Structure 1
Amino acid sequence: MKKIILLLMLAFSAFLSQAQSGTTLKAGDTAPDFKLKNVDNKEVSFGSFPNAKGYIVVFTCNTCPYAVGYEQRIIDLDKKFKPQGYPVIAINPNDPEASTADTFNKMQDLAKEKKYPFPYLFDAGQKITDEYGAKRTPHVFIVSKTSKGNVVEYVGAIDNDPEGSKADKVKYAEDVIASLQRGQKPAITQTKEIGCTVKRKAKA
């Protein structure tokens, strides 16, 4: 009996965790707007980029080894595609109580050290993380600005090379934007996100 109760408790806990983190957005969904504090203490939203054709929204953090491994690639994405109308907007989804190296002050330190050319936003309360359903760091959402609003075009990994060692890597994010620039729908709209799970503080 005790074993059955334990299994039920574990299943309920998993259900609560899934409900809390929300369902991940998919291609065709509307991308929720936000107004979050950047490391320069100014609020940033989609409207902060009035000339953008779309956005590369990346949920990433200070601490995850995968996020660290992708830092330069995220910087490179912004440098390449911001001039083409697709800026990077980075959002830290981790709760600072659960991941003490992901506090706002430490985000500021990292952005300064790495000379981030893009906003690095603090998601207090993980509201936007839950609205997007971001599960890991990094987790990428490529969004188009259309007459019908901001529409998700792709969700998943930046590429298929988390170790940064493949000579023939598939650059998912770059390929998606190349398709959008040609006025075409991307051939691939979803891949498995690669990274550490989003850190949440323990419930009291």
Structure 2
Amino acid sequence: MKYFLLLLLTITTSGSLLAQGLGIGQPVKDFTILADYSNTKAVAVIFLNQSCPNSRLYENRLSQLASNYAAKGVTFLFINPAISMEEGNSAAGGNTNLKLLPDNGQKISQQFGATKTPEAFLLQNVNGSFVLKYKGAIDDNPQLESSVKEPYLRNALDAVLANKAVAVSEKRALGCMIKRF
């Protein structure tokens, strides 16, 4: 019994360390896509899966955010961490103006520590190196955009663009679990 508990503790600890991914203030390494955005002020990496109801609820909000912040120097990357693109794009009536990039082998979602869809990661360009400034929920109300009281991602975007500290740098994302293989 003692060995079983020790093994369980080891597995639990190892799994939680692997799932942590990037920490606030850490630079992103070996994410080659970012080289294409060296002239941007920030990059918002959003993990979405159109078969997830919560992801679908955020499509219009994310499209609007991406449109509003593009002129301010922010690029939005929408990443599909589904095991296959067919699984992640199976929803009927999805917003087609959000181009989902595949996460082949789920390397990107694992590097970032993404566990849910939707989940946001805001990276600030600091002298050519992208540093994580916010991770988590997009806002506090997935159901009704009109009832949002705390727009976490928007607040983080505004702080980063103003070169200020992000007041809420982490907020637990709510949504569908990312299936790992």
- Fold match (TM-score > 0.5): yes
| 1:1-204 pair list within 5 angstroms | 14=12, 17-18=15-16, 21-35=18-32, 45-96=33-84, 101-102=87-88, 106=89, 114-116=95-97, 119-147=99-127, 149-164=129-144, 166-201=146-181
Q: Tell me, in whole angstroms, the C-alpha distance in 2 between the residues paired with 1:197 and 1:139.
A: 10
Task: Assess, with a 3 A threshold, how the Cα gap between structure 1 residues 8 and 63 changes in structure 2: closer, same or farther.
Answer: farther
Q: Give the TM-score, by structure 2 length.
A: 0.84
Q: Give the TM-score, by structure 1 length.
A: 0.76
Q: Tell me, in whole angstroms, the C-alpha distance in 1 between the residues paired with 2:62 and 2:173.
A: 15
Whether contact under 8 Å (2:43, 2:123) holds in the other structure is yes
Q: Tell me, in whole angstroms, the C-alpha distance in 2 between the residues paired with 1:157 and 1:146.
A: 23
Deviations 1:62-120 (A, max 9, x none): 21111111111111110011111111101111212xx9522xxx48x98x962325x42
Of residues 80-89 and 47-56 in structure 1, the stretch that sits farther from structure 2 once superposed is 47-56
Whether contact under 8 Å (1:32, 1:132) holds in the other structure is no
Deviations 1:25-74 (A, max 9, x none): 22201123434xxxxxxxxx122234310111101112111111111111
Q: CA RMSD in A?
A: 2.8
Task: Assess, with a 3 A threshold, how the Cα gap between structure 1 residues 15 and 186 changes in structure 2: closer, same or farther.
Answer: closer
Whether contact under 8 Å (2:159, 2:166) holds in the other structure is yes
Q: How many residues align?
A: 181
Whether contact under 8 Å (1:26, 1:190) holds in the other structure is no
Q: Which amino acid in 2 is paired with 1:116?
A: N
Among all aligned residue pairs of Structure 1 and Structure 2, give the percentage whose two residues are the same amino acid: 26
Structure 2 unmatched runs, 5+: none
Q: Tell me, in whole angstroms, the C-alpha distance in 1 between the residues paired with 2:35 and 2:132.
A: 16
Q: Tell me, in whole angstroms, the C-alpha distance in 2 between the residues paired with 1:14 and 1:94.
A: 24
